[in-house]
């Protein structure tokens, strides 16, 4: 699943870079390399963000129970 997530993140980063710049300019610059790096960096950040949001939701629920 992580390989699929990494592939999707890279594909979305490349598509986003291409849509912002245009085909010819995108292919003849360093933008594809930058988009590839952004896609690869986005993959490990997603589970961390999910863990943080889950921990925050748990903390809020616990505080609401303690407050009652």
Question: What's residue 62's pLDDT?
Answer: 92
Which residue has tokens 């594909």? 11
Say what the pTM is: 0.57
Reported as a single tens digit per residue, the pLDDT across 26-65 is: 777 877 888 888 888 887 777 778 888 899 999 999 998 8
Maximum CA pair distance of the chain? Answer: 61
- Write the pLDDT tens digit of every residue in 2-17: 778 788 888 988 888 8
Q: Six-digit token pair at 25?
A: 């300019």
Q: What pLDDT, on a 0 to 100 scale, did the predictor assign at position 58?
A: 93
């Amino acid at each position: 699943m992580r390989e699929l997530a990494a592939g999707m993140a890279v594909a979305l980063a490349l598509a986003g870079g291409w849509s912002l710049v245009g085909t010819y300019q995108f292919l003849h610059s360093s933008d594809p390399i930058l988009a590839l790096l952004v896609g690869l960096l986005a993959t490990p950040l997603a589970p961390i963000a999910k863990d943080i949001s889950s921990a925050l939701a748990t903390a809020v629920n616990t505080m609401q129970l303690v407050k009652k």
